[in-house]
Amino acid sequence: MIGVELGCLGVIAFYLGARAIRGDLAEFARKAALLASAAWLGEDTCIRLYGFYSYSPAWHGAIDRVPVLVAVIWPLVILSADTLARALRPRATAGARATLAGALVVLDAAFIEPASVQAGLWSWTVPGVFGVPLIGILGWGLFAGSALYALERLPRRAAAATLVLAPLATHAMLIVGWWGLLRWLPRPLPDLGALAVVAPASAALTWVITRTGARVPMAEMVSRLVAATFFFVLLGVYAREVGALVAYAAAFAPPYFTLMVVSWRPARATPSAA
């Protein structure tokens, strides 16, 4: 676990360095402190109330049921998705942008969760796909969207909104989603079925990025590449013999590599009017 924790610290340090270079580290730190606190509160209450998952006891430094490093990493995941959402939909309303960021976090979770479970960082008591129930993946996005919306819509009450409203909204949506649909799906879900969904979706998203020429800050993409590499290393160490999971994880790469290439290219000049 020491190696994993050092890897987490490396990802955090790289991301903070990228933010410092961009010149928005102070604003990031303010939001990150609120999000880390809200993330810990949301996760700890979820674990205690529902008992669906638990973290490995090998983690060092936990507050009640949640490792400190996990709570610290949460803001990176959420604010990175927010940066992408703002770049992809700069004119979107606060609600639409928070929804898009939440969807991006769901994509991140769909990749991160199976790799982390396979590595033994945490485990689920409810079956799903690659050992992860769909409610576990969806929960990431529900919290992220709720927290980002609270931060933007209620800036003068950001602390109360993020610490109270975001966890409460997440709990409400989790309960509705579980009892309204996810509770009744077949379990466990087929691993190859997940690959059959992700692979064509990845191809379609790659095509959309190519056609629209979407551009995001390269510093953000490089930071995400570093984080993704960390989880691919986990897969290489703990799941290299699980072919379906390796193929599933690889299917997430094309859209992000395409987005990096598109963002790296110089913007096309707009022809001036005669």
Tens digit of pLDDT for each residue in 128-176? 999 999 999 999 999 999 999 988 888 778 788 889 999 999 999 999 9
pLDDT band at 268 (very low <50, low <70, confident <90, very high): low
Tell me the pTM.
Answer: 0.91
Over 90: is that where the pLDDT of 118 sits?
A: yes
DSSP code, position 124: E
The candidate with the shortest Cα–Cα distance to 143, out of 56, 55, 59, 40, is: 40
What values do phi and psi take at 252, rounded to 5? -80, -15
Q: Is the peptide bond before 188 cis (omega within 30 degrees of 0)?
A: yes
Residue-wise pLDDT tens digits, 195-212: 999 999 999 989 988 888
pLDDT band for position 270 (cuts 50, 70, 90): very low
Q: DSSP letter string over 4-73?
A: HHHHHHHHHHHHHHHHHHHT-HHHHHHHHHHHHHHHHHHHHHHHHHH--EEE-TTSSSEETTEEHHHHHH
Judge contact between 54 and 123, C-beta under 8 A.
yes
Q: How does the average pLDDT of the chain come out, rounded? A: 90
Mean pLDDT of 176-185: 93
Q: State the pLDDT at residue 266.
A: 64
pLDDT, residue 202, reads: 92
Q: Where are the beta strands (DSSP E) in the chain?
A: 53-55, 62-63, 66-67, 122-124
pLDDT of residue 170: 95
Per the structure block, which two tokens stand in for 130?
Answer: 């690659």
pLDDT of res. 273: 42
Q: What is the pLDDT of residue 19?
A: 86
Residue 29 tokens, joined: 């730190």
Distance CA(221)–CA(227), nearest Å, equals 10
Query: What is the per-residue pLDDT for 158?
Result: 76
Tell me what pLDDT residue 186 has: 78
Tell me the HSE value of 138 on the side-chain side, using a 13 A CA sphere.
Answer: 16
pLDDT digits (tens, 9 = 90+) for 215-258: 888 888 899 999 999 999 999 999 888 889 999 999 999 998 99
Beta-carbon contacts of 70 under 8 Å, excluding residues fewer than 6 positions away, are: 39, 43, 55, 59
Task: Give pLDDT tens digits for 6-53.
Answer: 999 999 999 988 888 888 888 888 889 999 999 999 999 999 999 999
What mean pLDDT comes out for the span 184-191? 84
Query: What integer pLDDT is reported at residue 22 of this predicted model?
Result: 80
Please tell me the predicted confidence (pLDDT) of residue 271.
46
Residue 109 β-bridge partners:
none
For residue range 52-103, list pLDDT tens digits in order: 999 999 999 999 999 999 999 999 999 999 999 998 888 899 999 999 999 9
